[in-house]
Amino acid sequence: MGGQKICSKQNIAASKLTARLTAQMRRVSLFLAAAASISLPLQLQFGYAQDATEQFSRDSETHAVQNSTADVTASPTREKGRQIDVKTYGAVGDGVTNDTAAFNAALQSLADAGGGTCLVPKGTYIISPSGITTHVKSGVHVVGEGTASILKIAGMPTGPLLWGEGNGWSIEKLALDMGDYIPTTRRPAIACRGDNWRVANCSVLRIGLVGISVTGGNNWTIEKNHITKTVPSQILNESILVTKFGDTRATHARIIDNICEGSGIMFWGFYSTIARNQVSNAGFGSGIFTGQAANSHTMKIIGNVCTGGRGFDENRTWVSGFELWSPDSIIEGNVASNNDGGGIIIGGKNCVVMANESYNNGVRLPKGAGFVARYRNDDVNASGSVFIGNRAHDSRHANKSATQTYGYAEQPGRLHDIVHIGNDYNGNKARPADYHSTAGQRNVSADHGSAVMQAPLSPEMKNRLKALSKDEDLPDNARRIVREYLAR
């Protein structure tokens, strides 16, 4: 009964969060109206607000954001064959009885049979702190009845509550209650490894440090999950944490349509998509973070919202909206608002940063900016990136309560060849832009935030934009923006 009350509360929280974020997306339409006055004829108002709203539909098709370079299916096909009920193996689900052994037996039975489906009926199943030690193996699928099927940890976790590994497995429609325990070592609710798997439509409640963890793997999907952290923490904690397995990084992965409250998404991997996720009140790092070139590149980061990031974390930085270090990435249609640190931070080379909005950030960071171009060294920095049709502003401009000091800022270092096309960086606390580059080149006018850099794009970037204008993974309006620019 206690777990059911928790799920009910989380459903209410999810509804409130969705309503709040939908209201934020309406702000994008205001952005578009302002963009219409920009001298460059990009005409961002044609359909962007409608496309952004459609992207937030929980019923939208997965294939709309799949990476076109992956010639693979979106999710594993469930094998025909054996179907069992965990209660047949002795599970009770009364919220009192320890049902760990029953889950171990059921999953082992399916593994021995080469696959099948384990049904988890309504109930609250108590699981030992060690978690379910028999893994969800290749071809095995665990399916519950949504928030009514609760797996609840019995004490301080000493292992993942549930672990999937192998090829073509899935975990769906379960609620996993981690009890707000914060172990000394990261113990996720769901640990994932392998290829062609899927974790979907789960509620991961009261996580300690990590909700869903992934090590490497190809062509997997994490979608439509609701993950909550209720105890604030400035040490490393994430709703979804993706790292490497040995020297293997994730490839052709999809993290889409998830709601993350209290912690964010950290990703290491290549040729992958992070889209339409809603992150609020992260307490560490940033709402969405990608690794540097050695661990992350060629990403599509599309239509996400990161808001309300709070705290000064163990890395001694204020929590930001987005911190994106992966080079050669597309960063399109995202919204960052009301974060203690910056809004959208770009640290990867040759990125296309297009039609994003960043407002009311820098809540506690002095001189916080809506967009930040970062420089770490000559190999890791935002050089060569192009910013097209973005807006950064503070809705309280001209009032002492405004916090977003600049629309766009560059970190000290040798940044170069950053092109700005049709952006609006006006309406911030101090001025449109701020520079500390030592390269002797200003990439946009500090006094006129919507100014366009006169230097031409490189041939490589022009060719890339031509390819993007035909990329069906991008919304129609984004492709139109690129085509309009190339036609000039």
Q: How far is CA 399 from the centre of its chain?
A: 32
Q: What is the pLDDT along the chain (488 residues), one digit of tens a residue?
A: 444 434 444 444 444 444 444 444 444 443 333 333 333 333 332 233 333 333 333 333 333 333 333 333 333 444 457 999 999 999 999 999 999 999 999 999 999 999 999 999 999 999 999 999 999 999 999 999 999 999 999 999 999 999 999 999 999 999 999 999 998 888 999 999 999 999 999 999 999 999 999 999 999 999 999 999 998 889 999 999 999 998 899 999 999 999 999 999 999 999 999 999 999 999 999 999 999 999 999 999 999 999 999 999 998 999 999 999 999 999 999 999 999 999 999 999 999 999 999 999 999 999 999 999 999 999 999 999 999 889 999 999 999 999 999 999 988 888 888 888 888 999 999 999 887 655 555 555 444 444 444 456 788 888 988 888 888 877 787 788 788 878 87
Helix, strand or coil, per DSSP, at residue 311 = coil
Helix, strand or coil, per DSSP, at residue 460 = helix
Where do runs of H (alpha helix) occur along 42-148? Answer: 48-55, 100-113
**Phi, psi (deg, nearest 5) at residue 414:** -95, 60
For 389, residues 6+ apart whose C-beta sits below 8 A from its C-beta are: 35, 38, 42, 44, 354, 355, 421, 422, 423, 481
Cα–Cα distance for residue pair 276/54, rounded to 1 Å: 10
Cα Rg of the chain, angstroms: 23
Cα–Cα distance for residue pair 92/324, rounded to 1 Å: 46
Q: Maximum distance among all alpha carbons in the chain? A: 72
Cα–Cα distance for residue pair 131/423, rounded to 1 Å: 50
Spatial contact of 471 and 47, defined as CB atoms under 8 Å apart: no
**Phi, psi (deg, nearest 5) at residue 106:** -65, -45
Which tokens in the block code for residue 127? 């699981």
Cα–Cα distance for residue pair 302/351, rounded to 1 Å: 13
Closest by CA to 194, choosing from 254, 151, 138, 266, is 138
Q: Tell me the sheet residues that pair with 273.
A: 254, 300
Q: Tell me the sheet residues that pair with 424.
A: 391
**Phi, psi (deg, nearest 5) at residue 298:** 55, 60
Cα–Cα distance for residue pair 59/25, rounded to 1 Å: 17
Q: What interhelical angle do 2-35 and 48-55 show, nearest 10?
A: 170
Give the dihedral sign, CA 399/403/404/409. Answer: positive
Length of the chain: 488
Q: Return the amino acid letter for 167.
A: N
Give the dihedral sign, CA 90/91/96/97. Answer: positive
Spatial contact of 481 and 42, defined as CB atoms under 8 Å apart: yes
